[in-house]
Structure 1
Amino acid sequence: MNSSRKSNLLYGFIALVFSLILFFNANGRNVQTTLNTNPENFEETVNKVQIHPVYDSEKYYILGFDPYVSVKLSSANRIQLNAEANPDTRGFRVVCDLTGLGEGTHEVKLRIQNGSSAVGYTINPAKVTVTIEKKVTQSFKIHPVVSSSNLGEGFSVDSVTVTPEEAQITTGEKTLAQIDRVVATVDPSKTASADFKENATIEALDKEGNRLSIISDPQEAQVVVKVKAPEKIVSLYASQVGTLPNGISHYDFKLESLSTILRGPQSKLEAIESIALPVDITNITEKTTREVVVPTEDGVVAAPKTVKVEITPIRNTTHTETETTSGRQSSSTSNVVETTPSSTTAETRETSESAVDSTANE
């Protein structure tokens, strides 16, 4: 009896052990299966997501907050995640609901609107501080602004005009009271050495020069800038170029103007003292007048740009004497005198007169 009971207890204990082993083994497999079947979660952060404020835009003007936030997206559906991350296919938007809030500064929690149920959204920052003011509109004169960095070396502003001359500025009532001037500033990175025009953004500044939050109508104004270049007067002289015709010894040049005014960068003007006018004498055998362009390097302008040059050819003396000798064979003494150069003619005439006087005296 006792032996049978002991045997039963032993078998029962062994069965219990195997049961526990089987139980924990089965549960372990279930836990592992559960962990393995959890889907992978994808994440992506999109930046520069615009905030859409909801408020009475006819009555109020809002300011004081960064209009963009970052949104972290998470989803097990990669296709849906990509669609929400792409701004062209995105369905959600970030909303700042100001409904029911009056004038003053408020901290408002942002929320997601039209989000996908398959995607999780985390906004950063989650809250923004917004100032609400009474909306006002007023006309202001536009002041064009041109920086010294806009001008080339040695150049100065001659005149500046802006079109239109006024702009309608919409902002908050308190902000309007801070406006010191409305400006249209030419891009400081643009450098010019000649007259130019540019469309500049219209901005409102306070007394310290800080930009204020406004809406301008129009948003841009055209600024026309006329610049004054450094000047220098330099002398001009003729420089003969081209092929010398037969029978011509050289040329006499008479310039309409012996000087010109140069305008350009100061460093270039300092290196110029005079300018040679290239006068082409090819095929010129008679007295003539040519208009010659004043040569200048890039960035330098001459006034006047052209100069008239009177060109007088001087015939070769040897060639003239040859023609004269040939003429003596068929001419009288008086004819010889006429074909002699002017100085020789005068001397010949004096000799002839002396000979005549001597004969008369005898």
Structure 2
Amino acid sequence: MKIPYQSNWFSGLLALLFALLLFFNANASGNLSDITGGSQVYDEMLYNIPVQLEYDQDKYFVSGYEETVNVHLSSANRIQLNLEANEDTRNFQVVADLTKTPIGTSEIQLRVKGLSTAVTAEIEPKTITVTVENKVTKSFDVEAQLPESIEAEGYKVEKIAVSPKTVEITTGEETAKAITRVIAPLSNVKQSVDTIKQTVNVQAIDSKGQVLSIENPAPQVKVVVDLTLPSKEVGLTISPTGSPPTGVENFTFNLSEQKVEIRGTKSVLDAIDTIELPVDISNIKSSTKQKIKIPTNTEYIVSPEEVEVTINPVFAGTSTSFSGTSGQGTTTSSSSRSVPTSVPSSEKTTSSSSTSSSSSSSSIESTTEDDLENGSSLVPAN
């Protein structure tokens, strides 16, 4: 009679044990999953992190060391890692403790200061080499150092002014003894300038021409250099533009200046022999004077900046130029200052009829010969 009761009790106990076993097994799996997920490590490589030196800056001068290093950060906390990786929210510094470093050159171990305990750091390189000297300040005269291009491009230096002429240089005691001169190095200048004005940091130079370490920022001076640009004379050539009016077969041009002076660097001047002068011949039916600005650019300066051009139209079938007011034919005036034009020789005049072709050609040839003898330019109309 008791066997069924005992069997039910045993079955219930067994079921409870299985339930407990499944419960603990499920929790154990969840905890293991959490542990596995939380063990992920994140990495960041930071470059050019400045090295902070700890020493008595009033007494010593330190030089010869690498000013930046690389730092490898790692952490399981992604948020904390991002804070340290971001320059704006970063708490750590790379420091070199020189408080007990003797005078001379030494190798110093670097360390990270102020880093969160949740983040680890590895510095590359782990050490730097520094030179420690007693700090001194001395006065030196400053001389301007011109770019090599000044001489190469043919500039003539008229005057150099440096202000202030004397500066105080702070550096190490031994370094100060090695200074032979202090210079103000000028950077390259733009073409076609006749004055250089620059404010520059000075440099301390030794007997071998090497730049020595001095306190940063270095003293500044203002340098003004007056220059004379190379110059040459070039000719002007007429380049007609526009369309001639009906009936005009040729033009003669008289220039107030046959040559102009250009100033610029030697390389620019060597490439220029003549300057084309654009002259608009549209609607020119009588002798006309125009003031034409001479084309230029930033590479050279031209003088004078403009010339006066007298434009004389030659009508078809005649050998003379006509005034639009009187209608009378007058012989084209000559000028010893006129120059040939750049109009292509392939442009030829055309006669209005086969009957007058011979006489027109003869008249134009006669006019051309006379004008060339007198110095005027004869240009066929387009």
Q: Distance in 2 between matches of 1:235 and 1:155?
A: 22
Match of 2:262 in 1: 262
Letter of the aligned partner of 1:129 in structure 2? T
Letter of the aligned partner of 2:233 in structure 1? I
Q: Distance in 2 between matches of 1:107 and 1:268?
A: 54
Q: Distance in 2 between matches of 1:37 and 1:224?
A: 68
User: Contact 1:238/1:277 (CA < 8 Å) preserved in 2?
Assistant: yes
User: Contact 2:254/2:310 (CA < 8 Å) preserved in 1?
Assistant: yes
Q: Distance in 2 between matches of 1:79 and 1:69?
A: 24
Q: Which has the higher helix share?
A: 1
User: Contact 1:157/1:225 (CA < 8 Å) preserved in 2?
Assistant: no
User: Contact 2:192/2:301 (CA < 8 Å) preserved in 1?
Assistant: no
CA drift at 1:171: 0.5
Match of 1:99 in 2: 99
Match of 2:133 in 1: 133
Give the direction of change, closer, same or farther, for the CA distance of 1:238–1:135 in structure 2 (3 Å limit): same
User: Contact 2:133/2:173 (CA < 8 Å) preserved in 1?
Assistant: yes
1:245-287 CA-partner distances (Å, limit 9, x unpaired): x9xx9889573x543222235465456555576677978979x
Moved more, 92-101 or 154-163: 154-163
1:213-362 mapped onto 2 (5 Å cutoff): 213-215=213-215, 219-235=219-235, 253=254, 255=256, 257-266=257-266, 269-270=269-270, 272-273=272-273, 292-296=292-296, 299-307=299-307, 316=322, 319-320=327-328
User: Contact 1:146/1:185 (CA < 8 Å) preserved in 2?
Assistant: yes
Alpha-carbon RMSD: 4.3
Give the direction of change, closer, same or farther, for the CA distance of 1:176–1:252 in structure 2 (3 Å limit): closer
Match of 2:9 in 1: none
1:61-140 mapped onto 2 (5 Å cutoff): 61-140=61-140
Give the direction of change, closer, same or farther, for the CA distance of 1:103–1:310 in structure 2 (3 Å limit): same
Letter of the aligned partner of 2:47 in structure 1? N
**Count of residues in correspondence between the two structures:** 288
Q: Distance in 1 between matches of 2:38 and 2:308?
A: 94
CA drift at 1:293: 3.3
User: Does residue 1:205 correspond to 2:196, yes or no?
Assistant: no
Q: Distance in 1 between matches of 2:221 and 2:97?
A: 34
Give the direction of change, closer, same or farther, for the CA distance of 1:319–1:86 in structure 2 (3 Å limit): closer
Give the direction of change, closer, same or farther, for the CA distance of 1:278–1:138 in structure 2 (3 Å limit): same
Give the direction of change, closer, same or farther, for the CA distance of 1:267–1:72 in structure 2 (3 Å limit): closer
User: Does residue 1:184 correspond to 2:207, yes or no?
Assistant: no
User: Does residue 1:40 correspond to 2:40, yes or no?
Assistant: yes
Letter of the aligned partner of 1:123 in structure 2? I
CA drift at 1:120: 1.5
Letter of the aligned partner of 1:89 in structure 2? T
Letter of the aligned partner of 2:41 in structure 1? N
CA drift at 1:240: 8.6
User: Contact 2:289/2:309 (CA < 8 Å) preserved in 1?
Assistant: yes
User: Contact 2:161/2:225 (CA < 8 Å) preserved in 1?
Assistant: yes
Q: TM-score under structure 1 normalisation?
A: 0.63
User: Contact 1:80/1:118 (CA < 8 Å) preserved in 2?
Assistant: yes
User: Does residue 1:51 correspond to 2:51, yes or no?
Assistant: yes
Q: Secondary structure at the match of 1:110?
A: strand
CA drift at 1:177: 0.8
Q: TM-score under structure 2 normalisation?
A: 0.60
User: Contact 1:163/1:222 (CA < 8 Å) preserved in 2?
Assistant: yes
CA drift at 1:149: 4.1
Q: Using the aligned pairs only, state the percent identity.
A: 35
Q: Distance in 2 between matches of 1:105 and 1:268?
A: 52
Q: Distance in 2 between matches of 1:98 and 1:276?
A: 70
Q: Distance in 1 between matches of 2:47 and 2:275?
A: 61
Letter of the aligned partner of 1:44 in structure 2? E
Letter of the aligned partner of 1:158 in structure 2? V
Q: Distance in 2 between matches of 1:122 and 1:175?
A: 34
1:176-213 CA-partner distances (Å, limit 9, x unpaired): 1111222222335x653424433433221212222211
Unaligned residue ranges in structure 1 (runs of 5+): 1-25, 322-362
Give the direction of change, closer, same or farther, for the CA distance of 1:157–1:116 in structure 2 (3 Å limit): farther
User: Contact 1:102/1:132 (CA < 8 Å) preserved in 2?
Assistant: yes
Q: Distance in 2 between matches of 1:264 and 1:275?
A: 14
Q: Secondary structure at the match of 1:81?
A: helix
Q: Distance in 2 between matches of 1:273 and 1:138?
A: 54
1:66-98 CA-partner distances (Å, limit 9, x unpaired): 122222222211111111111211111122122
Q: Secondary structure at the match of 2:87?
A: coil
Q: Secondary structure at the match of 2:46?
A: strand
User: Contact 1:167/1:216 (CA < 8 Å) preserved in 2?
Assistant: no
User: Contact 2:50/2:67 (CA < 8 Å) preserved in 1?
Assistant: yes
CA drift at 1:146: 2.5
Letter of the aligned partner of 2:193 in structure 1? A
Give the direction of change, closer, same or farther, for the CA distance of 1:320–1:216 in structure 2 (3 Å limit): same
1:276-316 CA-partner distances (Å, limit 9, x unpaired): 76677978979x98655334466232222234678999974
Q: Distance in 2 between matches of 1:272 and 1:310?
A: 25
Match of 2:166 in 1: 166
Q: Secondary structure at the match of 1:84?
A: helix
Q: Distance in 2 between matches of 1:236 and 1:218?
A: 51
Moved more, 116-125 or 304-313: 304-313
User: Contact 1:197/1:225 (CA < 8 Å) preserved in 2?
Assistant: yes
Unaligned residue ranges in structure 2 (runs of 5+): 1-24, 314-319, 330-382
Give the direction of change, closer, same or farther, for the CA distance of 1:309–1:116 in structure 2 (3 Å limit): same
1:2-22 CA-partner distances (Å, limit 9, x unpaired): xxxxxxxxxxxxxxxxxxxxx
